[in-house]
A and B are shown apart, each in its own frame.
Chain A
């Protein structure tokens, strides 16, 4: 009997940090936010309960346009991260030798040791009007006047891909690593050429990793704030910026909270569609890697 109680107690103790984390930092704040988002301000310090904040969002084109723009750019970033990350992951998992593999993986990780902010400023140093790229192009005589590379969509996308690509590479490496080399050889042996083996064997096998990488990358990108603001400036029109504005600049917490939930619902919807289209489930992808 005693033994059983101790066992149960240790189980509770082990579970406690996780439960506290989930309730205190995830569930409670979200409940609070949801409560705030449902309050309509009718007069100073007078509130009514209703969907007004959400309705406002859909009535103002600038809001949902920003959301769609954020969503489509995040999708583009995800696709680019996949296209760039897959060959890197394949090289690390299948082609590189055991020793180079560790070194390469480490090299992918090193940028993470520097904070997001510093890395964004690094990009600014390179890309601004008086920055390294512009001045070296001038020095080489390729351009006459300095060029501002910052504050456009392409820069934002490059910066975002750079920030998130690691989260694509890691799940891809772990799935590709689990693939028996003989399977690729069997693909060739049975008559497949390079593209066929890639399309019919390697990609289907890596699908769980691809989907889980895409989910993480899409979530991170759509919810990122620092990189779009610093590299895109005021015209980046990122949806997180709208949320920030509502909370801080306009001190309209009700509407900010509603925007937050709209973003959550939107990204969840995109991921759900992605899972349906790829025929995967959350269980088979994110939970596995």
Chain B
């Protein structure tokens, strides 16, 4: 058990059910010291219950939670060195910023001088040195966010839990806070456990991400692994944007399959996930829009590699979003396919009603046995 000391947080076979509902079902993971770990899942997948168990507000029905190698089952929330940033922050409105941050230190019985130095120190570290005497209602959304983090970090926790704290912010601020959170995590060098249903938050900030669905962890990995090497259809569909088809296998040859979708498209794909499909099996096929190349038909058709899937279609509409622009192409079979394109604003740009050739490699056609 030498390695256990390296991990700030370990969860071992945690189970929690409410009546007949299994909120968290046999979840195990460990988080190494100083890393940013996200738990990503749709709402109702049990991620909040899991976090509340780590914080001590719920007790697991079975399993063990260890912080710095020590089991905390039976330890009340106020004795665990795990601090939490709540979804709506839960700053105390009847106290000013200074008192909010000092609250935890007071509970721990720190002396007045220690409290003053620590509070001003942590305010300097979150680059808000002058707000100590402000009321909570006088702060902006981003400032409140940082105060909520400072209020936890001043207590020097082993693990900081964050429960979708960016959900209430507007888009621009959310983007800025993502970067800021990552920087703060580096600066404090503390283990962050971040709960979210927003995959871009999880991908941008995390060292490791766990994908949770129906109370279970489907896959744990780095953001790149989850994006490029999903182990299950749920992961492929949930992380990142993707085209998705349901179909049947028509041919199998070592590692590759030929699939006919319900709409009648035929494409070759690589087998991912557990279980090797055989002919006739139902499969889900995922292709990410950025791997699909859309070109005007007839132009440079010869350039397309031999192993590629090729589909002719007509542009249905253009979804302009700067660098992330996309076209919706209606194929011959009538289905819509999304593909990323570069729109420069020039005359060569794709336009609605243009005939286009879509092509993508079989390697990027991820096929999961149902």
Tell me, yes or no, whether B139 is within 8 Å of chain A by CB.
no
Tell me, yes or no, whether A196 is within 8 Å of chain B by CB.
yes
Residues of A within 8 A of B93 (CB): 205
Interface residue from B55, B78, B94 paired with A193 (Cβ < 8 Å)? B78
A185 touches B103 (CB 8 A): no
Closest to B103 in A: A190
Tell me, rounded to whole Å, the shortest Cβ–Cβ distance linking B151 to chain A: 7
Q: A180-B88, A182-B87 are in contact. Are A189 and B77 (CB under 8 A)?
A: yes
0/1 string, A187-204, CB within 8 A of B gives 1: 111111100100011001
Residues of B within 8 A of A201 (CB): 92
Bound-state CA distance A196–B57 (Å) is 17
A191 touches B86 (CB 8 A): no
A-B residue pair count with CB separations less than 8 angstroms = 60
Tell me, yes or no, whether B152 is within 8 Å of chain A by CB.
yes
A185 touches B86 (CB 8 A): yes
Q: A183-B92, A201-B92, A204-B94 are in contact. Are A191 and B104 (CB under 8 A)?
A: yes
Bound-state CA distance A189–B108 (Å) is 12
0/1 string, B87-111, CB within 8 A of A gives 1: 1101011110000000110111000
B83 touches A200 (CB 8 A): no
B78 touches A192 (CB 8 A): yes
Tell me, yes or no, whether B220 is within 8 Å of chain A by CB.
no
Tell me, yes or no, whether B84 is within 8 Å of chain A by CB.
yes
Closest to B94 in A: A204
B90 touches A191 (CB 8 A): no
Tell me, yes or no, whether B149 is within 8 Å of chain A by CB.
no
B90 touches A182 (CB 8 A): yes
Residues of B within 8 A of A190 (CB): 78, 83, 103-104, 107, 151-152, 155
B90 touches A180 (CB 8 A): yes
Residues of A within 8 A of B107 (CB): 190-193, 196
Q: A188-B77, A192-B78, A193-B78 are in contact. Are A207 and B86 (CB under 8 A)?
A: no
Tell me, yes or no, whether A186 is within 8 Å of chain B by CB.
yes
Residues of B within 8 A of A180 (CB): 88, 90
Bound-state CA distance A196–B77 (Å) is 14
Residues of A within 8 A of B92 (CB): 183, 186-187, 201, 204-205
Bound-state CA distance A187–B106 (Å) is 12
Bound-state CA distance A271–B78 (Å) is 38
Q: A189-B55, A189-B83, A196-B107 are in contact. Are A183 and B78 (CB under 8 A)?
A: no
* Residue among A180, A190, A191, A196 with most chain B CB within 10 A: A190
Q: Count chain B residues whose beta carbon lies closer than 8 angstroms to a beta carbon of A.
A: 24
Tell me, rounded to whole Å, the shortest Cβ–Cβ distance linking A173 to chain B: 19
Bound-state CA distance A201–B95 (Å) is 9
Residues of A within 8 A of B82 (CB): 189
Tell me, rounded to whole Å, the shortest Cβ–Cβ distance linking B352 to chain A: 48
Bound-state CA distance A186–B151 (Å) is 10
Interface residue from B78, B95, B106, B152 paired with A188 (Cβ < 8 Å)? B78
A192 touches B83 (CB 8 A): no
Tell me, rounded to whole Å, the shortest Cβ–Cβ distance linking B331 to chain A: 49
B104 touches A182 (CB 8 A): no
B94 touches A189 (CB 8 A): no
Residues of B within 8 A of A204 (CB): 92, 94-95
0/1 string, B257-293, CB within 8 A of A gives 1: 0000000000000000000000000000000000000
* Residue among A182, A191, A204 with most chain B CB within 10 A: A191
Interface residue from B84, B87, B88, B95 paired with A189 (Cβ < 8 Å)? B84
Within 8 A of A (CB), among B2-52: none
Bound-state CA distance A192–B155 (Å) is 12
Bound-state CA distance A20–B103 (Å) is 51
Q: A191-B104, A191-B108 are in contact. Are A185 and B57 (CB under 8 A)?
A: yes
Closest to A193 in B: B78
A183 touches B104 (CB 8 A): no
0/1 string, A243-280, CB within 8 A of B gives 1: 00000000000000000000000000000000000000
Bound-state CA distance A207–B93 (Å) is 12
Tell me, rounded to whole Å, the shortest Cβ–Cβ distance linking A188 to chain B: 5
Q: A190-B152, A200-B103 are in contact. Are A185 and B90 (CB under 8 A)?
A: yes
* Residue among B57, B83, B92 with most chain A CB within 10 A: B92
Bound-state CA distance A24–B87 (Å) is 52
Tell me, rounded to whole Å, the shortest Cβ–Cβ distance linking A182 to chain B: 4
Tell me, rounded to whole Å, the shortest Cβ–Cβ distance linking A204 to chain B: 4
B103 touches A189 (CB 8 A): no
Closest to B105 in A: A191
B94 touches A205 (CB 8 A): yes
Bound-state CA distance A185–B151 (Å) is 14
Residues of B within 8 A of A185 (CB): 55, 57, 77, 84, 86, 90
Tell me, rounded to whole Å, the shortest Cβ–Cβ distance linking B154 to chain A: 9
Beyond A190-B83, A191-B108, A204-B92, 4 extra complex contacts between A and B, CB < 8 Å:
A180-B88, A185-B90, A189-B77, A190-B151
Can you list 30 A-B contacts with CB-CB less than 8 angstroms, sorted by A residue number? A180-B88, A182-B86, A182-B88, A182-B90, A183-B90, A183-B92, A185-B57, A185-B77, A186-B84, A186-B90, A188-B57, A188-B76, A188-B77, A188-B78, A190-B78, A190-B83, A190-B104, A190-B151, A190-B152, A190-B155, A191-B104, A191-B108, A192-B107, A193-B78, A196-B107, A200-B106, A201-B92, A204-B92, A204-B94, A207-B94
Q: List chain A positions with a Cβ less than 8 A from chain B.
A: 180, 182-183, 185-193, 196, 200-201, 204-205, 207
Closest 10 CB pairs of A and B: A190-B104, A191-B107, A182-B90, A186-B90, A182-B86, A204-B94, A192-B107, A188-B77, A183-B90, A188-B78
